[in-house]
Amino acid sequence: MNNQNPKHHLLSIVIPVYNERRTLAALVDRVQAAAIPIARESVFCTPS
């Protein structure tokens, strides 16, 4: 079944962060404020 209804999609936003302590709060705010018409999750990760 191919469901093209955007309400059933989830956009995963993966953002690598390394030494971003000073800008992380602003980055989170900007990602959350983006006008994206589908459900989304944000994943912030550090390199291992």
pLDDT band at residue 14 using 50, 70 and 90 as cut-offs: very high
Answer yes or no: is 27 within a domain.
yes
Residue 12 sits at φ, ψ, to 5 deg, of -100, 120
* Dihedral sign for Cα atoms in the order 8, 4, 28, 46: positive
Decide if 22 is inside a domain.
yes
Tokens of 33: 């404020």
Q: Is residue 39 part of a domain?
A: yes
Indicate whether 38 belongs to any domain.
Answer: yes
Quick one: pLDDT at residue 6?
53
* Of 8, 32, 7, the residue nearest 44 (C-alpha): 32
Report yes or no on whether pTM surpasses 0.75.
no
In a domain, 23, yes or no: yes
- Any domain includes 1: no
Domain count, the chain: 1
Domain range holding 19? Answer: 6-45
